[in-house]
């Protein structure tokens, strides 16, 4: 289930960075993350503004993640010297050093891991007071 549509994104969230054609794909990914982090409890409360706002912000975050991954892939495939990307270049006395393709792929994977705390932070900021993040148990006093 997708928790927000483009009309909500543009008119209630006041988002401007995602084109209308890309929004369903990104909102689906955001909604899937909401379902993951709430253990499926969000579906019963899909009309909450907090859930919709969270979906919109997650969609924007996924847009940023996709852009970073695309750039990393472009650098990996378009680089010189057997798929290596340019790591540094000097003009005076001209020199160029390359990063290996393996280094580029590893750095792209590490960048993707770095986004996980940002996604969690977005979800916590929007859903903390809804009870959707509660996983059960009691506090030990």
pTM: 0.77
Q: What is the pLDDT of residues 92-133, one digit of tens each?
A: 777 767 665 555 566 666 666 788 999 999 999 999 999 999
User: Which band of pLDDT confidence, cut at 50, 70 and 90, is reported for residue 135?
Assistant: confident
Residue 103 confidence (pLDDT): 57
DSSP 97-111: EEE-HHHHHHHHHHH
The CA distance from 54 to 123, in Å, is: 6
Residue found by looking up tokens 């892939």 in the block: 73
Q: What is the mean pLDDT of the chain?
A: 84
**For residue 80, how many C-alpha atoms fall within 13 Å in the half-sphere facing its CB?**
7
**For residue 136, how many C-alpha atoms fall within 13 Å in the half-sphere facing its CB?**
2
Q: What is the pLDDT of residues 13-45, one digit of tens each?
A: 999 999 999 999 999 999 999 999 999 999 999
**CA proximity to 30, closest of 63, 59, 61:** 59
Q: What is the pLDDT of residues 76-95, one digit of tens each?
A: 565 544 555 666 676 777 77
Residue 15 confidence (pLDDT): 97
């Amino acid at each position: 289930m997708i928790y927000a549509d483009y009309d909500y994104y543009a008119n209630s969230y006041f988002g401007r960075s995602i084109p209308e054609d890309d929004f369903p794909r990104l909102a689906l990914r955001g909604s899937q993350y909401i379902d993951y982090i709430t253990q499926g409890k969000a579906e019963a409360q899909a009309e909450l503004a907090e859930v919709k706002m969270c979906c919109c912000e997650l969609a924007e975050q996924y847009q940023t993640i996709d852009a970073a991954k695309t750039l990393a892939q472009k650098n990996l495939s378009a680089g010189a010297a057997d798929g290596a990307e340019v790591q540094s270049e000097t003009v005076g006395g001209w020199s160029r050093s390359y990063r290996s393709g393996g280094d580029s792929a590893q750095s792209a994977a590490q960048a993707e891991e770095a986004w996980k705390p940002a996604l969690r932070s977005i979800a916590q900021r929007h859903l903390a007071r809804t009870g959707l993040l509660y996983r059960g148990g009691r506090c030990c006093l």
